[in-house]
Structure formats: C-alpha cells, structure tokens
Amino acid sequence: MSALQKLNSFTEQDYLTYELTADIRHEFVDGQLYAMAGAGERHNRISLNIGFHLRAAARGGLCGVFISDMKLRAVHHNAYYYPDVMLVCNPDDNGEYYKQQPCFIAEVLSQSTENIDRREKLLAYLKIPSLRYYLLASTTQKSVEYFVRDAQDAWQTAFLEADETLAIDCEGYHSVLTLADIYEDVVVSSVV
C-alpha cells in the first residue's frame, strides 16, 4: 500500500503569480490547478469564427473580445477559467490578466472538456451577474446550444437552428451570430 500524501492547495495569489511564468496554462478551482490541453483545428476555427464576428461589431467601441488566453475570475466558485471566447463591455473590468464581468462567454466542446463545460462551468458562469449569454459549440457536428438571461433575470436555453440568428446585446453593443458564421470553413457532420 502506498503512503498517503497531503494534497497541495494554492491560494489565488499563488496561482496568479505562478501562471505568469508557467509553461502551460492552468485553470484554478478552489485551490487546485488543472492543466489545459491544446486544442485541435476545428476547435480553433470555431473559436476564431465566434471571436471574429464579435470583434467586428466591437471595433471602435468599449467592448473587448478575448479568445482563450484571457482568464475569467468566477468569484462565486473561487475559480479562474480560460473561456474559449469572452466579450466584456464594462470599462471598469480592466484587469490585465483576468476579467470578472463578461457579457458573453462561448466554450467550444471537446471530448475531454464537454462534461466540465456543461456542468461545472455552466454552474459557475450562470452565477456571474453581468453574464447574459453562454454558448456551447460542438466540434463534431453543427450544433450550438445557448443560454440567455431574460429581463426577469431567469435563464432560457435553446439550440441555434440553421435559419436562426442569435442577437447578442450588451451595454452599448450589438452583434448577431448564425450557425453558418460559427461553422464557416469547419468540416463537421451536418446539423442535428
């Protein structure tokens, strides 16, 4: 029988300091670090397509669009994540290495992250008061599930249909996404 060893725990500040010089990125959840795996071509194309359309509408405005290397601090979950795409429109959310008040987050699903994106991150993200949109895009088929916070502060969910347009409206910001925008130049099976 092997000897039991104490599980090391990091403080938030230890994590933030370590992450500045780490060779690979890590997400932080309640004192534990989780190494981030690299992403494949479809994942990258989908992330870039979403980011491209969001950024095109943000040009010259107050909103910033971030893809995969900007951390999100989820205060209610004592966690830092690296969303695939994040839109931040609050000028006071001006941290250099992490943001706290996104309006829109997209995660591109992979076999290794789908359960975390659909459970842990879903629960963490939906508690962020500024968040209005959470989008989950598949890499294996043209399938996008999205969550939208309504005027009564309740979350609604649906799948983006091929003929549908998803309007993204944040503080002083408006853009639209379609399935064709998200999957442009991405080879996957047809719409579910």
Judged by DSSP in three states, 180 sits in helix
Nearest in space to 19 (alpha carbons), one of 109, 76, 82: 82
Q: Write out the H or E segment, with its range, that includes residue 45.
A: helix 41-58
User: Is 192 inside a domain boundary?
Assistant: no
Q: What is the pLDDT of residue 104?
A: 98
Question: Would you say residue 113 lies in a domain?
Answer: yes
- pLDDT computed for residue 145 by the predictor: 97
Is 148 among the domain residues?
yes
* Cα–Cα dist 119/125, whole Å: 10
Please check whether residue 115 lies inside any domain of the structure. yes
Average pLDDT, the chain: 92
Q: Which domain holds residue 114?
A: 40-182
Per-residue pLDDT at 92: 95
What was the pLDDT predicted at 28? 93
78 is a domain residue: yes
How far apart CA 18 and CA 154 sit, in angstroms, is 37
Number of domains in the chain: 1
Rounded distance, CA 54 to CA 46, Å?
Answer: 12
CB burial of residue 6 (10 Å; 0-12, 13-18, 19+) = exposed
CATH number at residue 173: 3.90.1570.10
Low-confidence ranges of the chain (pLDDT < 50): none
- Asked whether residue 116 is domain-assigned, the answer is yes
Residues 112/133, Cβ–Cβ less than 8 Å: no
Task: Tell me, yes or no, whether 13 lies in a domain.
Answer: no
Single-letter code of the amino acid located at 185: D
pTM score: 0.92
Query: Quick check: is 28 in a domain?
Result: no
